[in-house]
Amino acid sequence: MQSSLKILSEHACFGGAQRFYEHDSTVIGLPMRYSVYLPPQAKQAAVPALLYLAGLTCNEETFMIKAGAQRLAAELGLALICPDTSPRGEAPQSIAGATASWDFGIGAGFYLDAIQAPWAQFWRMESYLIKELLPMVTSTLPIDADRIGIFGHSMGGHGALTLALKYPGKFKSLSAFAPICAPTQCPWGEKAFTGYLGSDRSTWAAHDASYLMQSRTTAPYPAGILIDQGLADKFLPEQLHPHLFEAACASVSQALTLRRHAGYDHGYYFISTFMQDHLQHHADRL
């Protein structure tokens, strides 16, 4: 696998290096792309890293270009890792329905392993991230595998919350921007879960952050979780439901800082405004 790893581009950035990679994924069975920002401290020793999961329609470039995260990551000594949001290429595009809508199929992997045909062949983002991407970047780059945090936006916020709750030993810190907090109870989640997992809703709960939190007996992140949500976000009323995750956290005494911001929408102007707070949140815990 490592023999197929190639750097597509590299750019000096705040004393560190912004890189874009492609490799042949054994989990997905196709070439996959991801990006990594290495801070200047990585030239001397292994550094902690944050895995960022992007939202619907995004790819491995979106966060690195739009979020304005590299300057502070360089100051804090944090590496940043951003995968693509789904498989891409000729084979996935040939699947009926893969490009028919912006909230399902290509660009909308929902960070889970599909079990329904035809999606189960390639849409295996959960296994890809946990079993392949993270082991690969920590073995090939100066990144400390024992100091990994996770965060994300919208669909990627859903991914960050659910993966952090499924693999608490792997991730030491957690935050999200405008996450889909209860996908079993919103149109985006219902569409994705029906397509990827099937109509048996009993299989859906394993991918719903509010359900996963509520099902725990102790707080998985005692140092706290940070969520920022814009109140001018057009998706807030129907799709995001942060109040349900807030209630789930309260039920197991999980410390949660859920900040609601008047005037902010769902996009990267919102994300970039509060990026410093999120990177500092993770740095303090890593």
Q: Which of 25, 233, 281, 282 is catalytic?
A: 233
- Type of residue at 171: F
CA distance 201 to 190: 9
Q: Which of 23, 153, 158, 266 is catalytic?
A: 266
CB contact set of 42 (below 8 Å; sequence gap of 6+): 16, 77, 79, 141, 142, 143
Q: Which of 35, 154, 175, 210 is catalytic?
A: 154
Supply 10's token pair: 């590299």
Supply 21's token pair: 């990679």
Residue 104 contacts residue 97 (beta carbons within 8 Å): yes
CA distance 197 to 201: 8
Supply 108's token pair: 């909308």
Q: Is 202 designated active site? A: no
CA distance 79 to 41: 9
CA distance 136 to 218: 31
In the three-class reduction of DSSP (H, G, I as helix; E, B as strand; rest coil), residue 173 is classed as: strand
Q: Is 233 designated active site? A: yes
CA distance 191 to 235: 15
Cα angle for residues 249, 254, 260 (degrees, 5° grid): 60
Residue 75 contacts residue 68 (beta carbons within 8 Å): no
Q: How many CB atoms lie within 10 A of CB 2?
A: 9
Residue 14 backbone zone (phi > 0: left; psi -120 to 50: alpha; other: beta)? left
Q: Is 266 designated active site? A: yes
Catalytic residues: 154, 233, 266
